[in-house]
Amino acid sequence: MPKGIFVRTPKSVAVRFWPKVEKTTTCWLWKASIGTRGYGKFGRTGRGQGWEHAHRVSWQLHYGAVPEGQLVLHRCDVRHCVRPDHLFLGTFKDNTADMFAKGRSGTIGETHHYAKLTPEKVRWLRFNRNVPPTVAARYFNVSRATIRDARSGKLWKHVQ
């Protein structure tokens, strides 16, 4: 090799990854870049080549590739946790069910920014089932599906 030419050997993923992790008695916390949604970000393929969630990289380092159609979910609900035994695989549907089961679904009912119904309106709809969905939908300025789902309890489950 000619004198003065430096050839950079890329570091392995593990060598770059683990110095950015703080291992506590509970979670292993990602201490480098954090995205706007609170998940750790890891430059997977090198500078300028994009990012991957740090918890996914941790899964891959411990268990191998993430199967097609699967997500890496958190048992601990700490978004920047990369501890392998706090992670598990699931589908998008599993992730949504986990979110609801743990009460992390954010806003429900009238607190949702798009909500047009209120608990009082939902109770009225359920009591007055003889009013056709088309009429009720027009009156409340919502879709017939919203009326149907509010009456059946698919939506507004928290309203009795």
The whole-number average pLDDT for the span 12-28 is 93
Q: Given this model, what pLDDT does residue 107 score?
A: 58
The pLDDT of residue 159: 84
Name the more confident of 56 and 1: 56
Kindly indicate the confidence band of residue 8, based on its pLDDT and cuts at 50, 70 and 90.
Answer: low
Q: Return the pLDDT at 7.
A: 60
Share of the chain above pLDDT 70, in %: 85
Q: What is the pLDDT of residue 155?
A: 84
From CA 18, how far away is CA 39, in angstroms rounded?
16
Q: What are phi and psi of 41, to 5 degrees?
A: -120, 135
For residues 53 and 66, give the distance between their C-alpha atoms in angstroms, rounded to a whole number: 12
